[in-house]
Amino acid sequence: MHYQPKHDLLEQRIILVTGAGDGIGREAALTYAKFGAQLVLLGRTESKLRAVQSEIARLGGAPSFTVTLDLLHTTQEQCKQVADDLATQIPRLDGVLHNAGLLGDIAPMADLSMEMWHDVMQVNVNATFMLTQALLPLLLKSNSGSLVFTSSSVGRTGRANWGAYAVSKFATEGMMQVLAEEYKSRHLRVNCINPGGTRTQMRASAFPNEDKNKLKTPADIMPLYLYLMGDDSRRKTGMSFDAQPNRKPGAAE
C-alpha cells in the first residue's frame, strides 16, 4: 500500500495490540508508538512484552502498559477483568488490533485432532470474541474507534491442509462483518487485515523450506496497519484489506 502517514497520525490515541511481543504484533506496537500512540501490549510471554515496552521507552514513546494473558486458556471473566483493570488506568481505547494467532497443524482435515481444532478455535476465534466483547465499552468511549482483526488469504478461499487455521480465519472475517454492521451508526469502524506472507516465526513454521529473504518483513507491511488506526480510514468499515495486494498466496517463489 502506498500510504504516507503524517508523523503525528496517532497522537493522543490509545491502542491495544494482542500478540504484541513478537512478529507482526511487535512491529505494529513499535510503529504505532513511533506515530504518537500510547500502547497497551497484550500477549502471553511477559518477558517479550517487557522488551517491547522498554524499546518504546527508548524510542521516546508514551509510557505503555503490558497485559500478560494466555488466550489459549482465558475465560470471559478474565477478559472482563482485563478490561476493568484497564478502565482504571486509561480513559478509553481508540484502537484494538487483534493480531495474536495460532497456526496449529498443517494437515488434512481427516487427520486433525479434536484438541488441535479446539486450540486453534480457542485462540483465533473464541478468545478474540471474548476480548472484543470485554473491550467494547472502552472502544465506544472513543470518538473515532478502530477495531482491526487479522485474517489470512486462507480465510477467504479454503486451501487443502490448512484445516482449523483456515476455518478460524473465515470465522474472523465473519466476526468483523457482523460487528461492522452492528456499529455502523456509531463511532466505531471494524475491518480485517490480511498481512500476506510475512517473515515471522509463524510463517517459517508453515513454510519451512521457502527462501525467507523473498518475503516482506513486518516493517514493510506497516502502512496498512497505520492507515486503519488513523483518521484517514475513518469512513471505512466492514472491509477486508490486503497488506500486500499484488502477492500470490502460497510459498514465496
Q: Please identify every residue annotated as catalytic.
A: 165
For the bound state, the minimum distance from the C-beta of residue 186 to ligand NDP, rounded and expressed in Å, comes to 26
**Which residue lies nearer to ligand NDP by CB, 11 or 160?**
160
Rule CB under 6 A: say whether 104 interacts with ligand NDP.
Answer: no
Proportion of the chain in helix, strand, coil states, percent, rounded to 5? 45, 15, 40
DSSP-assigned beta bridge partners for residue 197? none
- Distance separating alpha carbons of residues 171 and 155, to the nearest angstrom: 8
CB of 148 to ligand NDP, least distance (A): 11
Q: Counting contacts by CB under 6 A, is residue 40 touching ligand NDP?
A: no
CB of 6 to ligand NDP, least distance (A): 26
CA distance 28 to 34: 10
Does position 130 bind ligand NDP by CB under 6 A? no
Pick the closer one to ligand NDP by CB: 118 or 141. 118
Axis crossing angle, helix 23-34 with helix 46-58, rounded to the nearest 10? 30
Q: Residue for cell digits 523450506? A: 209
Closest contact distance (angstroms) between CB of 196 and ligand NDP is: 6
Shorter beta-carbon distance to ligand NDP: residue 122 or 177: 122
Residue selected from 13, 25, 120, 175 as contacting ligand NDP according to rule CB under 6 A: 25
Residues 203-222 contacting ligand NDP, CB under 6 A: 203
Among 31, 126, 132, 200, which residue sits at the site for ligand NDP (rule: CB under 6 A)? 200
Binder to ligand NDP among 22, 94, 105, 242 (CB under 6 A)? 22
Torsion sign across C-alpha atoms 116, 121, 123, 124: positive
CA-CA distance, 247 to 243, in Å (whole number)?
9
- Give the residue, chosen from 10, 15, 29, 123, that forms a contact with ligand NDP under the rule CB under 6 A: 123
Indicate whether 45 belongs to the interface with ligand NDP (CB under 6 A). Answer: yes
Instruction: Read off the C-alpha cell for 87.
Output: 478502565
* Span interacting with ligand NDP, options 110-118, 136-144, 156-164, 190-198, rule CB under 6 A: 190-198
With a CB cutoff of 8 Å and minimum separation 6, the contacts of 49 are 20, 21, 41, 42, 43, 66, 67, 68
Residue pointed to by grid coordinates 480457542: 122
13 binds ligand NDP (CB under 6 A): no
The answer for residues whose C-beta is within 8 angstroms of residue 212's C-beta and 6 or more apart is: 199, 203, 204, 252
CB neighbours of residue 143 within 10 Å: 9
Instruction: State the residues that interact with ligand NDP by CB under 6 A.
Output: 19, 21-25, 43-45, 48, 70-72, 99-102, 123, 150, 152, 195, 197-198, 200-203
